[in-house]
Amino acid sequence: MSAVGSPGEALDWTDRLLEVDVGPVAHGGHCVARHEGRVVFVRHALPGERVRVVVTEDNGGSFCRADAVGVLEASPDRVEPACAWAGPGGCGGCDWQHATPAAQRRLKAAVVAEQLARLAGIEREVTVEELPGGPLDWRTRMRMAVTDDGRPGLRVHRSHEVLPVGDCPIAAPGALLPVLERAWTPTAEVEVVRDAEGEVHAAELFEGARHPEIGSDTAHERAAGRTWALPPAAFWQVHPHAADAVVDAVVEGVGDLAPGACAWDLYGGAGLIAAPLAERVGPEGRVVLVESDPDATAAAGACLADLPAVQVVRSRVEKVLGDGGKRSSTRGGSSLPGPPDVIVADPPRKGLGRGLAGQLAEQGAARIVLVACDPAALARDVAALAEHGYRLDALRAFDAFPMTHHVECVATLLAA
Ligand SMILES: C[S@@+](CC[C@H](N)C(=O)[O-])C[C@H]1O[C@@H](n2cnc3c(N)ncnc32)[C@H](O)[C@@H]1O
């Protein structure tokens, strides 16, 4: 099966069958094995197993990617996947269908701990907390792909191939039914939302345009003791219990906010986090929500209209913190009201980055609470803030994406 190279030329291992002992979990939904001195990232295996793998990609350098196609010695954590489309060559959406839910949480905890150790130099025992509802039937938002002949499906891992799945066991009940029973524009994508009232909203994304096709233009969500009405495309947590879990952890992280205090809620979305912050600082306090998506800011303005402390700023965070913002009297230089007593930042997957982390640190807040869905980005941001004197205090992690390798973290950093 393997390609044979000429003398001196490195062999391409793609398609080669190997037997390997599986080592620790690595970030990204795979485990690390070694073969003939090279690192092999193996999907669909578990630490401690001996498996037969097929190499799916050879990067030509130090590592390969592979799929476990036979289990020679199984881990006690191994179970039969609940999904017919999971496994080697199957749907790329789930990484850990073959592990018990408890083992999945241990694997994610190990990844968070390893990223913090490697990228931030912090040794810490991490626990990933379970959310209610079990490992199936939770996903309220998903992006589907469409086959060349118009059938909705899900992509194979690291491939453009679309599997026209007949179901998705992690999707919220009923979410996919109206989507699967009709045809879509070939090669488009379909954005599916099932809101807290059970209404399904689906829009087709094609050639840069978004066409709502199913459901109304308002999704209703409930969290933090409030209700939200927001456009389906605006950000909302994917797991139905994640919003409350994140809010609780953030409220814990910001600590005792005195009435009249000032809090910044950066990347604030529709105001999920701003709402409980506003209740804490009271009407004489200030919660400045910064968000770039006009749909989300409109929803925040409308849904939080009863909270006079909330000020919604539609802008990119970089702009109000960086050179693009009008400099004002705040300590760190920004166009936002301040100085903030506390900053909450919930950036997209790539995290804050070093420059922005430095600009946040300059604001002089006593606490910075980071919400992060990528442990590597979190660890890099924690390391960047540490350069400015912020020390990691509490860290909560939630299994907000069961069966996948994703994990949601809330980290509290205290100024020196
Ligand atoms: C992970 S979501 C968090 C939303 C909100 N905190 C919540 O919990 O519902 C990140 C949000 O940041 C917004 N966003 C992305 N890039 C941004 C930027 N450069 N400046 C401001 N907001 C941004 C997105 O539109 C999205 O609403």
**In the predicted model, what is the mean pLDDT of residues 143-168?**
95
Residue 273 has pLDDT above 70, yes or no: yes
Residue 118, CA distances (Å) to 108, 377, 383 in order: 15, 12, 10
**In the predicted model, what is the mean pLDDT of residues 148-168?**
95
228 lines ligand 1 (CB under 6 A): no
Whole-number pLDDT of residue 3: 43
Catalytic residues: 373
CB 22 within 8 A of CB 50: yes
Q: What is the pLDDT of residues 215-271, one digit of tens each?
A: 999 999 999 999 999 999 999 999 999 999 999 999 999 999 999 999 999 999 999
Please tell me the distance between residue 236's alpha carbon and the centre of ligand 1 in angstroms.
Answer: 10
Whole-number pLDDT of residue 6: 47
- Residue 73 annotated in ligand binding: no
Confidence of residue 22 (pLDDT cuts 50, 70, 90): very high
Best of 141, 291, 406 for a ligand 1 pocket test (most atoms within 8 Å of beta carbon): 291
296 lines ligand 1 (CB under 6 A): yes
Please tell me the distance between residue 62's alpha carbon and the centre of ligand 1 in angstroms.
Answer: 36
Cα–Cα distance measured from residue 8 to residue 111, given in angstroms and rounded to the nearest whole number: 37
- Residue 291 annotated in ligand binding: yes
Residue 210, CA distances (Å) to 144, 155, 206, 232, 300 in order: 14, 20, 7, 11, 22
- Residue 237 annotated in ligand binding: yes
346 lines ligand 1 (CB under 6 A): yes
Whole-number pLDDT of residue 329: 41
Residue 65 has pLDDT above 70, yes or no: yes
Confidence of residue 280 (pLDDT cuts 50, 70, 90): very high
**In the predicted model, what is the mean pLDDT of residues 1-30?**
80
User: What's the mean pLDDT when you consider all of the chain?
Assistant: 94
291 lines ligand 1 (CB under 6 A): yes
272 lines ligand 1 (CB under 6 A): yes
Best of 292, 314, 321, 336 for a ligand 1 pocket test (most atoms within 8 Å of beta carbon): 292
Please tell me the distance between residue 328's alpha carbon and the centre of ligand 1 in angstroms.
Answer: 24
For 373, half-sphere exposure in the C-beta direction (CA atoms, 13 angstrom radius) is 16
Share of the chain above pLDDT 90, in %: 92
Residue 246 CA: nearest ligand 1 atom is 8
Whole-number pLDDT of residue 327: 45
Please tell me the distance between residue 403's alpha carbon and the centre of ligand 1 in angstroms.
Answer: 24
233 lines ligand 1 (CB under 6 A): no
Residue 298 has pLDDT above 90, yes or no: yes
267 lines ligand 1 (CB under 6 A): yes
**In the predicted model, what is the mean pLDDT of residues 161-171?**
95
**In the predicted model, what is the mean pLDDT of residues 386-402?**
98
CB 267 within 8 A of CB 290: yes
Whole-number pLDDT of residue 10: 63
Residue 221, CA distances (Å) to 42, 212, 232, 313, 324 in order: 38, 19, 10, 22, 34
Residue 300 has pLDDT above 70, yes or no: yes
Q: Which pair of structure tokens corresponds to residue 344?
A: 């909450």
CB 332 within 8 A of CB 359: yes
Whole-number pLDDT of residue 332: 61
Q: Which of 9-13, 103-107, 314-318 has the lowest mean pLDDT?
A: 9-13
Residue 387 has pLDDT above 70, yes or no: yes
Please tell me the distance between residue 131's alpha carbon and the centre of ligand 1 in angstroms.
Answer: 23
Q: What is the pLDDT of residues 171-206, one digit of tens each?
A: 999 999 999 999 999 999 999 999 999 999 999 999
